Structure 1
Amino acid sequence: MKVEDAAGKQATVAHPFLFAIQTEYWRTWDIALTEFAGVDLKTVTKLTIAAGTGTDSGQPDKDEDTLYIDNIRLSLP
């Protein structure tokens, strides 16, 4: 998960379980807002959710899956 503020400052938090998206059941992921240190959370302009490291996994080109993301919310501790 990456957030970016209006000044272009970014902070990224990786899921602690490397294979989280390879399971077949719903999983919650709570992230403390303090994990996004250095970003002005009052001026967030972009939220990016990504899977993988950005390097080629060697999978065939037609290997496609579906990732469902639900209930993104901010809440008090």
Structure 2
Amino acid sequence: MEYDLFEGWNGLGRFIKDKVRRRIDQPIKEGTNIGSKSDGITWVDLKYEKLPTFCYFCGILGHDEGICETAKE
């Protein structure tokens, strides 16, 4: 995995921008928990940029909701 971190302020709050390489046959996460039990666990929404064709129903890259086999079930 390759990554670069960018930290900034966008007027709504702090953010970290992360560039990653990932498998495209796995669903993309909507968010994740970060932190620890001693410091507190916080849910973080993940946002994505520059994605190819993406299915918002199943989270897999390479097709959209119109041809999603999972959505048809």
In the superposition, the TM-score normalised over structure 1's length comes to 0.26
Relative contact order higher in (CA < 8 Å, ≥ 6 apart) = 1
Larger proportion of strand = 2
